[in-house]
Amino acid sequence: MTKFSDLNLNPKVLQAVVDAGYETPTPIQAGAIPHALQGRDVLGIAQTGTGKTASFTLPMISLLANGRARARMPRSLVLCPTRELAAQVAENFDTYTKHLKLTKALLIGGVSFKEQEQLIDRGVDVLIATPGRLLDHFERGKLLLTGVQIMVVDEADRMLDMGFIPDIERIFSLTPFTRQTLFFSATMAPEIERITNTFLSSPERIEVARQATASETIEQGVVMFKASRKDREGSEKRSVLRALIDAEGDRCTNAIIFCNRKTDVDIVAKSLKKYGYDAAPIHGDLDQSQRTRTLDGFREGTLRFLVASDVAARGLDVPAVSHVFNFDVPSHAEDYVHRIGRTGRAGRDGRAIMICTPRDEKNFDAVERLMQREIPRLENPLKPASAPAPEAAPTDTVEEAPRKRSRRRSPAKTEEATTTPPVTTEAAPAPKAPAPKAEAAPKEARSNRGGSRRSDDNRVVGMGDHLPSFIALSFDERRAS
């Protein structure tokens, strides 16, 4: 079996690894480190939670052990999609450079520009940054990337997503063509891989597991949930989440609860706190200091439930997460792999439970196709408790039914009564021979309708058959004159 001592790492780096308690590298580390030490480009694909961060930090530190940084010209660059992942990579460098005098700077949003500029002005060996903040420093004239020898793109598939491509292309254009480039990710779609071919030169592909697979130590399940009414879906879904947490009992020591939208993150966290659960939200709209405090509390065990958006799905390393709850089915199937990869890390057992509503079924089918397996269905824990509800609904319907039928019956009777006389008339039609008399009768009725007050000869044209006699007097006077 391969050990870290067999990978030709710098002795001081190897000592730091031993001090951290590691002896045997993971498959991705054993495959990527030797090629990276040789200066080759590497495309690393492995399940999340298998130690990809150390796969590039260890060889990078070994290669940078000899040399000196110049002001505003970092010797290496690590790009990360989120602030939390960038901070985590920085912690790894602190762990493995304890016996070396290498400097680093962390460029992320939510932190003062001035403090970051002071670090860059002194010169850093390792620059860890998110793309937006890195370009901000460059545009201010505070940073030069012409001295970059090694460039790493962590979580490459997310970094190369459509929204990041322009920034990534610009950053690559600012670095030397002779740089060494390392790409690492848990998933690598074919179209994304074609883009990486633009940035990598004859890369060594290290793929230690089938793409888009989860660790075998993670037990997965899904609850197919349908709300009683559309306007109650949110509250009933949160009730199901609480019931699932309670059903896990003592096995659920801590958990990350993922939501698709930032607003739902806040709502779910507030709801859990209302019902006595120790929970806090974390998403991109929160202040960086608050995000850091929340994440530190979760890592230290003072916070039990972390309600998060996908900002916490990529690369976040909290070793002892017992459960992951997907409150929403992720919009992108690849995100499911990253989400559930927050549990079952480093060989530990984990459990991942998802809630799927009817409108999420399309995304859920995409997840199962990506995983190439059927996710086991779980019983809704609230179903036995809500069993009496369906019985009450039919009772109300039965009580209302007679009233509805009575209302429908009365118009029917009226209509039937209305239609009866014509039927009788048609059944016994009057003789048609004396047709002229039949026409004369209505005419005579019309002439008599005005009473004996006036005759047919005195009718006023245009005033109708119902003209009263006192009004006709004025017309009679005119005729007389």
User: Which of 10-19, 165-174, 207-216 has the weakest average pLDDT?
Assistant: 207-216
Answer whether residue 212 is part of any domain. no
Question: Does some domain include residue 241?
Answer: yes
Quick check: 181 pLDDT over 70?
A: yes
The larger pLDDT score, comparing residue 415 to residue 481, is at 481
Query: Could you tell me if 218 and 344 are in contact, meaning their C-beta atoms sit under 8 angstroms apart?
Result: yes
CA distance 349 to 180: 36
Residues 229 and 302 in one domain: yes
Q: In this structure, is residue 184 part of a structural domain? A: yes
398 in any annotated domain: no
In this predicted structure, what is the pLDDT of residue 295? Answer: 87
Residue 83: CA count within 13 A, CB half-sphere? 19
As beta bridge partners, residue 77 has: 127, 151
> Which amino acid, 143?
L
Closest CA to 188 of 152, 159, 220, 218: 159
State the Cα–Cα distance between residues 145 and 137, nearest whole angstrom: 11
Q: For residue 370, tell me if it sits in a domain.
A: yes
Q: Are residues 286 and 160 in the same domain?
A: no
How confident is the model at residue 310, as a pLDDT? 81
Q: Does 256 share its domain with 189? A: no
Amino acid at 430: A
Domain check: are 71 and 196 in the same one? yes
Task: Supply the angle between the helices 27-37 and 52-64 in degrees, to the nearest 10.
Answer: 30
With residue 224 as reference, give the H or E element that holds it.
strand 218-224
Average pLDDT in the 250-275 region? 95
Residue 411 lies in a domain: no
Q: H or E segment at 282? A: strand 279-282
Do both 108 and 231 map to the same domain?
no
Contact 158, 314 (CB under 8 A): yes
d(CA 295, CA 280): 9
Query: 237 and 161 in one domain?
Result: no
222 and 203 in a common domain:
no
Do 117 and 176 have their domain in common? yes
Q: What is the C-alpha to C-alpha distance for residues 367 and 375, in angstroms, rounded to an integer?
A: 9
Do 192 and 236 share a domain, yes or no? no
Res 64: pLDDT: 94
SS3 409: helix
Total domain count for the chain? 3
| Cα gap 132→156, rounded to integer Å | 16
Average pLDDT over all residues of the chain: 81
**Phi (first) and psi of residue 441, to 5 degrees:** -60, -50
341: domain CATH number is 3.40.50.300
- Which of 349, 373, 388 terminates a domain? The answer is 388
| Tens of pLDDT, residues 291-305 | 889 988 998 999 999
Stated as kind and residue range, the H or E segment containing 182 is: strand 180-185
Is 238 a residue whose pLDDT tops 50? yes
Spatial separation of the C-alpha atoms in residues 383 and 236, rounded to whole Å: 11
Q: Which residues lie across from 256 on neighbouring strands?
A: 306, 324
How buried is 294 (Cβ within 10 angstroms: 0-12 exposed, 13-18 middle, 19+ buried)? buried
Cα–Cα distance measured from residue 472 to residue 481, given in angstroms and rounded to the nearest whole number = 15
More confident residue, 478 or 309: 309
Predicted confidence (pLDDT) at residue 95 exceeds the cutoff of 90 = yes
Q: Does residue 151 surpass a pLDDT of 70?
A: yes
Tell me whether residue 418 is exposed, middle or buried, using C-beta atoms within 10 angstroms of its C-beta: 0 to 12, 13 to 18, 19 or more: exposed
Residues 442-458 have pLDDT tens digits of 444 444 444 444 445 55
Q: 102 pLDDT band (50/70/90 cuts)?
A: very high
Residue 62 lies in a domain: yes
Q: What is the model's pLDDT at position 420?
A: 42
* Same domain flag for 187 and 89: yes
Q: How far apart are the first and last CA of the chain?
A: 136
18-42 tens-digit pLDDT: 999 998 998 999 999 999 999 999 9
474 φ, ψ to 5°? Answer: -65, -40
Residue 11 to residue 25: CA distance in whole angstroms: 16
Is there a domain that residue 344 lies in?
yes
Whether 298 and 272 have beta carbons less than 8 Å apart is answered as no
Domain end call among 207, 242, 259: 207
Mean pLDDT of 93-107: 93
> Quick count: other Cβ atoms within 10 Å of Cβ 319?
9
Q: Choose the final residue of a domain: 174, 207, 240.
A: 207
Average pLDDT (218-229) is: 94
What percent of the chain has pLDDT above 90? 49
User: Do 471 and 370 fall within a single domain?
Assistant: no
Residue 377 and residue 328 in one domain? yes
pLDDT at 184: 87
Structural domain harbouring 343: 218-388
Q: Which residue has the tokens 């002439």?
A: 447
Distance CA(27)–CA(7), nearest Å, equals 12
Q: What is the pLDDT of residue 273?
A: 96
